[in-house]
Each structure stands twice: as C-alpha cells, then as structure tokens.
Amino acid sequence: MKALLDPIVEIALAAGDAIMTRYHSNIEITEKDDTSPVTAADLAANAIILERLQALTPEIPILSEESEHTAWQQRQNWQRFWLVDPLDGTKEFIRQNGEFTVNIALIDNGEPVLGVVHAPALEKTWLADGETAWLQTSSGRDSVKVRTASIPTVVGSRSHPSPELATYVAKLGEHKMAEVGSSLKFCLVAEGRAQYYPRLGPTMMWDTGAGHCVAQSAGANIMQLDGSPLRYHREELRNPSFIVSV
C-alpha cells in the first residue's frame, strides 16, 4: 500500500492545479441540498481525482464528498476504500484566503493508512503512510513530528467557532489560540506548530480522513470525547466530536 503514496501525491497536485486555474477568476457558487456551497473548482478537482484513482486502483471503491454517496448496505462490505474531499474549505476558497486543501485518504479496516493533504495556494503538501509524515514544498520533502510546548497552541476553525471550544480551552490553563481553515489544522499539529485541535462541531468523514492520517503518523492522538479512536468504517458519514492532541 505504501507504494501508492507518491502516485496519490501526484493526483492531489493535479487536482490542486485545476483548483488554482479557477481561483482568481469569478467564482461561480451553487448551493447543495444541505445549503453548503460548491464551486466549479470542487467539481473539476473531483473529476480528476476520481478518474485517476479509478485508473490507479480500479479494485478500490471511492467515497467522495462531491459524488453520489454509496449506501451503507454496500459500504459495509468495503474493507478498503478511498476517502476524498476534492476541495476542503470551500468557504476559504471563496474568501480567497488560501486556507483550502485537497484531501485524499486510503481507509483500511476503518483506519486511515495513507493520507495526502495538499494546499495548492500555499504550495505545501503533507503526506503520510501510517508510520511517518512529511511536508513537501518546492525545497523538497522533510519528515514532521509533533512537539510539546510549555504554553500549548490550540488550533480551531476559522469558519466554525463554537461555545464548546471556548469551554474546552478554558480548562487547559495558559495557552495560545490559532485559527485556520480546512484540514490544515491537523497539519499544524503534525508539524509541531500546535498541540491541540479540539473539533467539537460537525465534520464529515472526508473532511478528516487524510489529515487524521498525517497527524497520527506524526505522533498525534485522535480520539473521540469518550476516549475511543475515531474510525471510518461506519454507517454515519458525519463524524462525532474528537480531539487531536500530542
């Protein structure tokens, strides 16, 4: 499976290029059934990812935010599947603040075992194989590891602040706060630039699979509030609340 990591990076980069060709033009926004926004960039990136994943691994099914979602009756038989968010942080893309990503993860028995988070506007790519995580830039590829800090940094969502988050951080004592969009929050923990990412509001599986793999491969813990691990072989596509910590 690890041999698939570099081809997945290339697919994510290609999707990112498609997104960036639409980044500085007039962004056409439509609304999905759940009222969340979707753009031509989301759909273009999705088309590239699906086509290339199907060519690379025709035997592995795909669950993508921007495609019809396979029913649980069928998904429950999937031991392994690709979990895709072709443009995570559509609101950040619309705001043109650069904080959006392409997320591709391979799930095996409910665990993310490969993950790529590509931030095309930042020209950064985080990748992981379940054991090691790396940051890839124009300067090359370097491994990343979590780090503790005497005054921890807590990273939260720019688009989804919550009273629950304020209650959680109040219990930590002295800390710093940072806000960033999309799955970049996982990557900040993986790099050691943040120590906590409490997600106490709604996310979907495709929002978190790739970042989960990157952070966990860098040494982070990703747990539900009851202390059990966050898993991806389940009927419910919406995630429970979880905490990423060093």
Contact 46, 69 (CB under 8 A): no
Confidence class for position 191, pLDDT limits 50, 70, 90:
very high
233 burial class (0-12, 13-18, 19+ CB within 10 angstroms)? middle
Enter the pTM of the model.
0.94
Which pLDDT tens digit goes with each residue over 11-51?
A: 999 999 999 998 877 676 676 666 577 788 999 999 999 99
Long-range contacts of 235-240 (CB under 8 A, 24+ apart): 235/72, 235/75, 235/76, 237/69, 237/204, 237/205, 238/202, 238/203, 238/204, 238/205, 239/199, 239/202, 239/203, 239/204, 239/205, 239/207, 239/208
On whether the CB atoms of residues 179 and 158 are closer than 8 A, the answer is yes
A 10 A CB-CB count for 159 gives: 14
Q: For a pLDDT cut of 70, what percent of the chain falls above it?
A: 94
Mean pLDDT of the chain: 93
- How sure is the predictor about 54, in pLDDT bands with cuts at 50, 70 and 90? very high
- Amino acid 169: pLDDT: 83
Non-local CB neighbours of 233 within 8 Å, separated by 6+ positions: 76, 78, 107, 109, 110
